[in-house]
Structures are given as structure tokens and as C-alpha cells.
Chain A
Amino acid sequence: MSISRRTLLKLVGLTALGVTAEKYVSVHAGSTSAKLVAKAIGAGKRLAGTKPAQKVRLAMVVDLRKCVSEQGCTKCIDACNKAHNIPDFGESKDEIKWIWKEPYQDAFLDQENFYMKDEFKNKKVPVFCNSCDNPPCVEVCPTQATFKRDDGIVMIDWHRCIGCRYCMAACPYGSRSFNWRDPRPFIKDINPDFPTRMKGVVEKCTWCDERVSQGLSPICVDVCPGKALVFGNLNDPGSEVRQLLKDNFSIRRKPGLGTSPEIYYLV
């Protein structure tokens, strides 16, 4: 078998591309081997890095050392609730939440450690939608009402959602809320710049897509008094998020599930 110079060059080029792609997968995605197997059997519809890396992959870094939520700070939560017309029903059954606090050991359930630093044992961790790179909610949604934008934000079309709540079953982070009843009478003062929702649809944090589209940061990032939240482009090596992740040890929630959550916690 003879291979022409041209073919050979092509092959070399393709191999190089393939190696780069695989490297990208292994750096970027959670369970690499599973993904490579999936890729091999052609089930790679939601593989990170199988297509050329997009220019922007938004991500959030939460510096838990700076967050003072255990001291009662709820600035990010309050600002979010107000900006997004989130109702307050005064009970937990119908509750809607976009950002909230969870004890460290509940937010990182698989990181059980009784002898952890007291500082973290008592820590309250702000949790929100992880806008996963492999979002299971997007995969299961039967109407594509929930979808991933090119910059990585996971969105919900409140006009298309049929309220089947399959996404709520699929989300490993409990990030999604359902409008069990009409939320409008329970919104303290309505922000006219943001839509209210109707009963029967699912909602969640969308990393303030309405602000991101205007070149702004999510409102929680802006109002954080300790500058504990940092938002930026993960695919830009010079971005602040990348610098923080380079210089600090970070963890993510349930990375072992292969969802590739894009919120990084500095501990």
C-alpha cells in the first residue's frame, strides 16, 4: 500500500487535531474515559470538546474563603430575588429559589469528612444552577424548552415548557423550581424589566442572561460585598476565572456524574 505525500500530511494533520480534541476533553470534561467510549460508539451528541472549542464558555468561580454567608449575608440572594421577580410563598412546598445557601456537607454530599476544618464545617455554600457543559436537563427535555446557549448558559423558554418536570428529575443539583401555583400575587414588588412566570412552568437561575447579553456580570456577582463571586470566560486563558482556577485549589459539585458543572468553588 502506498501513501502519497499529500494523504500522509492530511493524516498527520487529522491525528494532531484528534489529539488536541482528546486533550481538550480530558482537561475539560468530568469522566473522560466514559466520554471517549461514548464518542467511539457514536453516542457523542453531548460531548464537550468533540466540536471545536467555542470562543466563549462562561463560568463562575465562588471563593468560599471570601463568602460570609454563614454570618447571615444574603446580599446575592436578595438581589437575585428582586431582579428576577421571585415569589415568596412563606412555605417550602411551593418554594422557588435561584440562589440559596446549603451547609457545606450537603452541597458537597460526596465529600464526607468529619475532621474537616471547622471553618468549612459551618460554612454555608451559595448554590445555583451550574449551567453544566453536559446538562442532563437539556438532554431530557422533550420540547427543547430548556437548552444551552453557545456561551454555555442553560436557559428555559417559559413559553414552551409543558411542565412535565422531567428536567427536575434529571438535575443532580436540585437547581430547578416549579411554579406549583400562580407566583404573581406573591412577588413583593415587581421588577417591570424582567418577566414574571405563570403557574405550571419550571424555572431556575440563568446566570442573569439578560445582563450577560448587555455585557454585564450576573447581579449576584456585582452585589457581593466580599467579591467572592467571579464570572467570566473559561476559554480565555487571560480571564480572571482562569487565573483564579490556575492559582487556587477548586472543587465542583458532583463532578463524577459527567455533567461538567461550570461553577468552581475555591476552598
Chain B
Amino acid sequence: MIEHAFRGNKRYWSWLVFLSLIILTGFYFYMRQFNYGLGITGMSRNVSWGLYIAQFTFMVGVAASAVMVVLPYYLHDYKAFGKITILGEFLAISSVIMCMIFVFVDLGQPFRLLNLMLYPTPHSLLFWDVIALSGYLLLNVVITRVTLDAEHKSTAPPKWIRVVIIVSIPWAVSIHTVTAFLLSGLAGRPFWLTAIMAPRFLASAFSAGPALLVVLCLVMKKLTDFDAGDEALKKLGLIITYAMCVNVFFILMEFFTTFYSGIPSDVSHMQYLYFGFEGKGKLVPWMWASVALAVVSLVLLIVPKTRENHRTFFVACITVFLSIWIDKGLGLVITGFIPSPFGKVVQYWPTIPESLITLGVWAIGFFLITIFYKMVLSIRMESEA
């Protein structure tokens, strides 16, 4: 099957070369980080997690979102998702791998990574996150491998794979729940200490993930013979709409509880994020951009006409994705540290090497997606021919 990834037209190859260049740039700066230490990033004693962990958090959501196509297709036998389910699963694989790389590049002593396995520590949520993520990766590798193989041979997939698929559904929910617990279980960080962290993560995941899938499908429709099908896209549109509504609702819940209760330690973080605190507010314009994008996306999604028109639907999906990326891949993790436990505002902004390393990991993700989707499309074309 993998041989299909090695055959492609000029556009395919130039895209891969382009991504490889970004990956190599990222790798070069990672080597610099490796030699100098994490001081090469914008992180500091006060803001000790930054862009890497924020990207990790965001990508876990994209990974978990595969369940939004897997569940209707396998549990409800929703045939329209037949063409895109495996794309969702490959998106999950690529995202989980990105998650793992983001955690890896964030480690101060990466060569000691195996200490996680040598000294398993069940009272640490990070231990459970490692289990959840690697299990999810394994499940999806097995599922895609077996189902794609069956498609390749034009046979029905073996019966046992259904069990694996059913297991993967709650497992997808678990990866994002455990990741939320990683943050929401800390008594000393009031910004994260909220019981709706996990539900909020799931809602944002189930809107941003399928939105990315739609974008990928529409791009493929433009560039290749692949067509996800109108019904599938319509259904994804509904899923994204509901999930985005719930996501925005949850954010408003946080606003209410924080500002109405008025507990200073809680208010200070939200205030920093959306309005600025003590005259400092590096994230403020970003967050209002996120709000604006969310509003635009909701209008485009809720109005049936714009949701069902591919061009406006495409824009809607991009705005959903960007809005949530700013909220989760930038604001959420960093603001947990601002202000500090002493009430001081020490701001954070990623450095150029840090941003290029991050971009490199994203490029790895796109590289994987490209070759996975190429494989799927070629195999489908072959069996159709």
C-alpha cells in the first residue's frame, strides 16, 4: 500500500519538497534548542509552558475529532461517511504523532523520555496521557491498516476489527478528557481549575477537527478526483455548527462564573486574556480576533444557505479552525501562568526559533496527511478502475 505514496505528479512532489524544507528548518532550530536549552524559547520561570504544550493541547482535539466520523459510520451505519471515515482516522494518526512530537520538543532532557516508562506513575495525569495517546495511535494504525487493506483487496474487512473500532470511540473521548485533566486538576492555577475544561475541550475539538477535515476534503475536491459527497459534507456542516455553538456557550459560561463571582485570582487571568491586566495584554488583540472569527463562523454556519454553499462553508470552516486555534492553541495554556502565583504579570511571546520548530512539527503533520491521503486516493482509484 505504501508504494502509492511514492508515485505522484509534479504538484504532489513539489508540495512534499516544500514541506520537507519547513521540516528541515524546524529540525535545524530544534538542534539549536537541543544544544542551548529551552531558554531559546520565550518561556520563562513564570510562564513555563508555551506554544509547544498549547499546540499539543490543540492537536489532541483534532485527533479526538475523528470520532465524529467514526461514530456515525460504524455505530449508526451512516453510509454517507463511508468515503471520509478513513480520512478522519488518518487525520487522527497524524495529529497524535504531532502531539507526541510537541511534548518531546518541550522536554528539557529529551533523552530521558523513557523514564516515563521506567518509572510508571499512576498518580500523574501525564502518565495516563501517554497511555491514552499511544493507545489511540495504535488503535487507529490497526484500524486504518486493516480497513484500507480490505478496500485494496475489495473484500469485507474482518469482523474482529469492528470491536477495535468500537473501542476507539470512547478512547477518542478519553484522550481529550485526560488532556483536560492535565490542566484542570491543578489547585494552584485558577484559570484551568474548571470542571467544564474537559467538556469544553471536546466541544472545541468536535468543531475544529471536522472543520479541518472539511477543508482538506474541499481542497482535495479541487485538486484531485476525490469528492467526499454532498451529503457527507452537509452532515459534517451540521456537526461543526452544533459543536461550535456548544463551544462558544462553554466559553460564555466561563465568563459568567469568573466575572460574576468576582474572585480576584480567577478574574485576573480572564482579564489579562481579554482586556489586559495592569496595562499588559499581549494576547488581547488575538482573543478579540478569535471572538470575531467565532461570530463570523457562527453566522455562516447557522444560516442554511451559507452552510450549504461550498464556498461560504469553506470560509466558515477556516474561521472555526482559526478561532479555536487562537483560543486553545495560544490563549488557554499561556494564560494559566499569567498572572503568576504572586500576582505578577510576566508576559510570554514565542521566539523565532520556537515558532519555526512549531511550524516544523505542523509541516510533519501535513506531510503525513498528504502521503496518507495519497495512499487512500490511489487505492480507491485502483479498485474503481
Query: Residues on A close to B: CB < 8 A?
Result: 45-46, 92-97, 102, 106-107, 109-110, 112, 136, 139-145, 160-166, 168-174, 177-182, 198-202, 254, 257-259
Contact = CB atoms under 8 A, between A and B. Distances in A.
Nearest to B129: A142
B309 interface: no
Contacts of A182: 37
B14 interface: no
Interface string B99-132: 0000100111110110110110101111100100
A120 B124 CA distance: 39
B309 to A, nearest CB: 44
A48 to B, nearest CB: 15
Contact of A171 (B123, B185, B341): B341
Nearest to A180: B39
Contacts of A94: 39, 44-45
Contact of B124 (A92, A160, A166): A166
Interface stretch (B77-85, B186-194, B297-305, B353-361): B186-194
A180 to B, nearest CB: 3
Contacts of B109: 161-163, 198, 200-201
Contact of B127 (A142, A202, A259): A142
A122 to B, nearest CB: 16
A169 B38 contact: no
27 contacts: A92-B346, A94-B44, A96-B45, A107-B342, A109-B341, A141-B121, A142-B126, A162-B110, A162-B112, A162-B115, A164-B107, A164-B108, A166-B182, A168-B48, A169-B186, A172-B187, A173-B341, A174-B46, A174-B340, A178-B48, A180-B38, A180-B39, A199-B38, A200-B37, A202-B108, A257-B187, A257-B188
B116 A142 contact: yes
A163 B116 contact: no
Pairs A-B, 5 closest by C-beta atoms: A163-B108, A172-B188, A200-B108, A180-B39, A199-B37
A172 B48 contact: no
Interface of B is mostly: loop
B240 interface: no
A163 B113 contact: no
Nearest to B344: A106
Interface of B: 36-39, 43-46, 48-49, 103, 106-110, 112-113, 115-116, 118-119, 121, 123-127, 130, 182-183, 185-189, 264-265, 336-337, 340-344, 346
Contacts of A257: 187-188
A232 B147 CA distance: 66
A136 B38 contact: no
A173 B188 contact: yes
Given A140-B186, A169-B336, A181 B37 contact: yes
Nearest to A45: B123
A161 B43 CA distance: 18
A41 B216 CA distance: 47
Contact of B265 (A107, A110, A162): A110
A200 B107 contact: yes
The interface centre, meaning the residue of A92, A93, A141 with most chain B CB atoms within 10 A of its CB, is A93
B342 A178 contact: no
Contact of B45 (A160, A169, A173, A177): A177
B116 A165 contact: no
A170 B124 CA distance: 11
Contact of B116 (A46, A107, A143): A143
A95 B110 CA distance: 22
The interface centre, meaning the residue of B108, B113, B121, B346 with most chain A CB atoms within 10 A of its CB, is B108
Given A139-B123, A164-B103, A170-B188, 11 more contacts: A102-B342, A109-B265, A110-B265, A112-B264, A160-B119, A161-B112, A162-B113, A165-B49, A170-B189, A199-B37, A201-B109
Contacts of A93: 39, 44-45
Contact of A136 (B121, B186, B265, B346): B186
A104 B157 CA distance: 68
Contacts of A201: 108-109
B153 to A, nearest CB: 42
